């Protein structure tokens, strides 16, 4: 096989993904033959590509010469046999195993032996799609993300018999068209779809347990952790018909691993047609009159002047100073008790330290508190203690979100699950650790990759959070990855090999 860049590629399937792949390849100077079994679909896709490009020329975002080159590199073909001259052919048809297998069987009959065949499947195992090929050594997965022109990541997935030369050619092609390729092991969901489960499923579990509302969770994850969108905003954008189906598929494919479990609430949203933006109703309402429920706590009391610390902690001392409250050296039996539990709920924290459950106001200091602070109190808590602390925080210019008692607050739970799943993917050798982080940042717009989150929290702290949540909940959903445990217990970096 030759390893140089292709002069001509083929794209089979002229839907959103196929058209996007054709557009970026043509824009890079590669000739593209676009095929679709639907009459005139390929011509319509090219017309749409060029129409968008013409608008960019008119707005000054694209030069006329670039448009002319794009137009010269795109050609629709009506018969699959016309893809014969292509050096790489990328399939982007419906997500159906038999349909893909039939397409590749036809391609093998009409292309030379050195043509690389690739599937853009987002979920079907590459080895299964290519199992019946006569020459599986020239076949691999090439998974782009939507919208293709904007998303930088591409996952390259070898099947069990894919040749190294095939991987080299697809890597070189991906780099040439401006993508960041990551080599991923062939497993259900590959890397990004698998790794992305934790963000949404843990948020769903938090709502299922009535710990916090979708708007509260989204605000916390944006303001305290730097995510561009909260998990419920993201699910409404992609649609419950998409994200529930993928979540169910991955949970079943991994033999019901609790780490990948969704909730009855997720299924209910699908079955009642509350799909998100596409139906005008999901976790939020959409339309001219829609507004999101409040995530911020109003001022309900006079600011606290004094607090007691549940246990000595530099973070608690610094936080108390930042909101202008005095820390009493001895408990006066009246002042709110400021606490910073890791993985614990207030009930367990109070029991462990023999503290007055009613006066404890827990604050999550594991993440950024410069914009928003999460407060948590126990069942039967004194609301005045919480409200007084909240008023002091609000007086410092920050927003406050008050949630019900939970192991791990909100951010600790979600970030710990993201990081732990990333550690498990590293343990599985799903991809190189650095590539896991790169893929999650590029594919999902995460502010940090899962292993970067683990290092930022510190492996020992992350392990402590997970162990507390697993022990207190009795749920193996929170069982720590061996990759994490071995590094945390010995003070090693999360990337240590």
For residues 369 and 366, give the distance between their C-alpha atoms in angstroms, rounded to a whole number.
Answer: 9
Indicate if 176 belongs to the active site: no
Set 87, 137, 155, 344: catalytic member? 155
30 touches 90 (CB < 8 A): no
Kindly list the distances between the CA atom of residue 334 and the CA atoms of 49, 313, 330, 343, 358, in Å, as whole numbers in the listed order: 68, 21, 11, 26, 10
Indicate if 399 belongs to the active site: no
Set 143, 174, 344, 455: catalytic member? 143
Set 87, 91, 174, 193: catalytic member? 193
Indicate if 193 belongs to the active site: yes
326 touches 309 (CB < 8 A): no
For residues 221 and 26, give the distance between their C-alpha atoms in angstroms, rounded to a whole number.
Answer: 38
Indicate if 445 belongs to the active site: no
Which active-site residues does the annotation give? 122, 143, 155, 193
């Amino acid at each position: 096989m030759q390893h140089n860049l292709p002069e001509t590629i083929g794209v089979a399937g002229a839907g959103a993904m196929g058209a996007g792949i054709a557009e970026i390849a043509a824009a890079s100077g590669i000739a593209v033959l676009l095929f679709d079994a639907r009459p005139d679909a390929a011509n319509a896709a090219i017309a749409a590509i060029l129409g968008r490009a013409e608008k960019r020329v008119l707005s000054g975002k694209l030069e006329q010469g670039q448009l002319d080159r794009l137009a010269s590199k795109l050609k629709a073909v009506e018969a699959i046999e016309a893809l014969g001259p292509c050096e790489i052919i990328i399939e982007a048809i419906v997500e159906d195993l038999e349909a893909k297998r039939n397409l590749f069987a036809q391609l093998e009959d009409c292309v030379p032996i050195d043509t690389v065949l690739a599937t853009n499947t987002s979920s079907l195992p590459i080895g299964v799609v290519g199992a019946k090929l006569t020459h599986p050594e020239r076949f691999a997965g090439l998974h782009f993300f939507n919208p293709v022109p904007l998303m930088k990541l591409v996952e390259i997935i070898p099947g069990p018999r894919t040749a190294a030369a095939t991987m080299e050619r697809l890597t070189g092609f991906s780099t040439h068209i401006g993508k960041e390729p990551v080599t991923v092991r062939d497993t259900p969901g590959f890397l990004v779809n698998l790794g992305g489960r934790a963000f949404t499923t843990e948020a769903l579990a938090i709502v299922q347990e009535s710990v916090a509302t979708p708007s509260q969770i989204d605000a916390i994850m944006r303001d305290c952790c730097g995510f561009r969108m909260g998990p419920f905003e993201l699910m409404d954008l992609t649609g419950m018909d998409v994200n529930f189906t993928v979540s169910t598929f991955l949970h079943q494919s991994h033999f019901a691993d609790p780490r990948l479990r969704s909730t009855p609430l997720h299924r209910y949203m699908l079955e009642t047609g509350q799909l998100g933006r596409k139906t005008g109703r999901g976790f939020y309402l959409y339309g001219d009159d829609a507004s999101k429920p409040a995530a911020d706590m109003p001022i309900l009391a006079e600011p606290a002047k004094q607090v007691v610390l549940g246990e000595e902690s530099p973070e608690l001392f610094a936080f108390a100073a930042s909101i202008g409250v005095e820390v009493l050296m001895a408990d006066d039996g009246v002042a709110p008790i400021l606490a910073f539990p890791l993985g614990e709920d207030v009930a367990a924290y109070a029991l462990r330290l023999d503290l007055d459950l009613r006066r404890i106001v827990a604050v999550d200091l594991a993440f950024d508190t410069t914009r928003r602070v999460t407060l948590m109190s126990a069942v039967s808590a004194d609301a005045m203690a919480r409200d007084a602390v909240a008023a002091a925080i609000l007086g410092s210019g920050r927003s406050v979100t008050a949630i019900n008692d939970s192991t791990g607050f909100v951010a600790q739970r979600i970030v710990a699950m993201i990081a732990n799943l990333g550690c498990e993917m590293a343990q599985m050798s799903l991809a190189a650790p650095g590539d896991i982080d790169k893929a999650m940042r590029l594919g999902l717009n995460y502010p940090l990759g899962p292993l970067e989150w683990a290092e930022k929290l510190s492996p020992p702290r992350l392990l402590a959070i997970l162990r507390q949540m697993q022990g207190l909940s009795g749920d193996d959903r929170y069982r720590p990855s061996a990759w994490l445990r071995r590094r945390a217990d010995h003070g090693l970096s999360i990337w240590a090999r």
